[in-house]
Structure 1
Amino acid sequence: MTTTPPRLAPPPRHTSATRHAPRRRDDLAAFLRSRRARVTPRDVGMPPGPRRRTPGLRREEVAQLAGVGVTWYTWLEQGRPINVSGQVLDAVARTLQLDAAERAHLFRLADVAPPPSIGDDTVDLPPEIRGILDALDPLPAAVTNARSDVLAWNEGYASLLPMIASTAPPHRNTLWFAFTTPSCCNPMRNLDEQAAEYVAILRYRHIQHLGEPGWQEFVQGLSAASDRFARLWATHDVAPPRPCDKVYCYPAVGDISLRATHLDLSGRPGIRLTVHNPVDETTRARLAWLRAHPEAAQPDHTH
């Protein structure tokens, strides 16, 4: 299916609002040239033709295959400040045979919201991740995505937070748990101290997923379910992720103080392994006791 070539317009003049755009456009131009150079005519079912002076496809061939105008694509690859739609950029990405990470990179360089298909709603985790989680046991450990959906966990994590481990998607999410669990059943003792930072980190990650339906539904749903989250989200505060201290409390065992460390998984953008380390021997002993008495972490009533 041919995409309608975008209407050309003179490149706008730079203003103070676009002062930082030239560097991004330069990176976009270099990235497009490098990806074009690695795709041969044979890769896209075209005859090789006469001897070529440069490797890869020509600009006009990329434009033809993507269904866009040659002049427009030339301007794009030259880094000119032209308007780019997600639909047309997606056609270019398919023509250049970009993988998911490269496609996401292209959209960000073009300052266009990443397409929904590069989201992390469903992720096939490599089998070795289960081995790593099991090897970390009895330390509570889990794999989550950028939105804090819990994708996999070990027995230590399940004994610490059984309410999360037993919840089905889409609400098997640490933020949903933190902000929607009634105070009488919520073991997070230091939520008041850290709630603002949790939301600021979510907004930091959210900017990389603008326009993705899953993210929009999550933020809207959590805002409707939690007044506290809605108020904090409305502040537009933003903060990068960092290690944090978490304190959980169950009446039968007392405070469990942990340091949560996040490790990004290579080749899985947005996916991270979170390991909870006891801050002292008292907490280590209480984790062991909780593991032996799983009923102590379960609420004694329902809502």
Structure 2
Amino acid sequence: MTGSSGRARELGDLLRSRRARLQPSDVGLPPGARRRTRGLRREEVAQLAAISPTYYTVLEQGRDVRPSRQVLDALAAALRLDGAERAHLHELVHGAAPAQTPVVETLPPAVPALLDRLDPCPSYVTGRCWDVLAANRAARALWTDWPARPARERNLLWWMFTDPEAREVMVDWPAEASALLGRFRSASARHPGDPRFSELLERLLAASPEVREWWPQHVVTPLSSGTKRLRHPALGEIELQHVVLQLADDPEQKLVTFTAADQDQDRIAGLLE
């Protein structure tokens, strides 16, 4: 963690937050004496991870030390981290050096053309910070008209957390918004030197009370396919299955495409006529 005090503090915050959510019974320890604070004690986590309490305390304090991958695996097991959280733990300590990337992300012309051919299946491509780089007509009809928005607002996170329209469109808004923020956190750990992540986060923290509440909880969420429920003025509520594909030219660019039941798919097509 040399030279990365901000990431060391984030590691400490993550360990502390995950320790607080566990009880002794969760990890097979006796309840012991009355506890003044919630969660496990530091020495209990150290015992479970087979490290010294002093070393664990140093990690939680955000000191600039660099635990080995073996120690991180032991901490992940002790704190019952899931796969995404464990990967995030490693990225905070052993993440790759920041890549030199262009300020403006671009797509090969074939990608927007592919999106157009996917109509009426809603499809869009997001960049590393979830800027919407391209979207077909069906996606613009169901979500928002991305090209019509100011350039700084063509971002899925910004739309999700600051535009009241998002809370109308996304039927399960709290779960969707929390998961999106968790994916953003995971991506930001892979690009610790990219100022676009910190700039967007600062804007979100200033604009959204939910981001201010949820960001300290250190939720990390992996990319995954699944189901989304959307609400449209003309169609009502519709359920969509989606898959996420990473582009070979830049794996941080994600193509997301959706399909609905046949009847709903026909109704989406009707919006485009």
Structure 2 residue 272 is the aligned partner of structure 1 residue 291:
yes
Cα distance in 1 for partners of 2:106, 2:144 equals: 23
Which residue of the partner structure matches residue 57 of structure 1? none
Picking from 262, 266, 273, the partner of 1:281 is: 262
Cα distance in 2 for partners of 1:19, 1:114 equals: 17
Picking from 97, 100, 118, the partner of 1:117 is: 100
Q: Superposition RMSD on alpha carbons, in Å?
A: 2.9
* Partner-residue secondary structure (3-state), 1:18: coil
Cα distance in 1 for partners of 2:207, 2:257 equals: 28
Picking from 67, 76, 79, the partner of 1:18 is: 67
Structure 2 residue 210 is the aligned partner of structure 1 residue 228:
yes
Picking from 256, 268, 277, the partner of 2:238 is: 256
Picking from 152, 156, 165, the partner of 2:134 is: 152
Structure 2 residue 171 is the aligned partner of structure 1 residue 189:
yes
CA displacement at 1:159 relative to structure 2: 2.0
- State the percentage of identical aligned residues: 28
Q: Match of 1:138, as an amino acid?
A: P
TM-score with structure 1 setting the length: 0.56
Q: Match of 1:276, as an amino acid?
A: F
CA displacement at 1:205 relative to structure 2: 0.9
Structure 2 residue 162 is the aligned partner of structure 1 residue 180:
yes
CA displacement at 1:261 relative to structure 2: 1.2
Query: Which is helix-richer, 1 or 2?
Result: 2
Q: Match of 2:105, as an amino acid?
A: V
Give 1 or 2 for the bigger CA radius of gyration. Answer: 1
Residues 47-62 of structure 1 aligned to structure 2 (within 5 Å)? none
CA displacement at 1:180 relative to structure 2: 0.9
Which residue of the partner structure matches residue 141 of structure 1? 123
Cα distance in 1 for partners of 2:165, 2:105 equals: 32
* Partner-residue secondary structure (3-state), 2:128: coil
Cα distance in 1 for partners of 2:263, 2:215 equals: 36
Cα distance in 2 for partners of 1:251, 1:150 equals: 23
**Does the 8 Å contact 1:256/1:287 carry over to 2?**
no
* Partner-residue secondary structure (3-state), 2:169: coil
Distance 1:186 1:176, change over 3 A: farther
Q: Which has the higher contact order (CA 8 A, sep 6+)?
A: 2
CA displacement at 1:113 relative to structure 2: 6.7
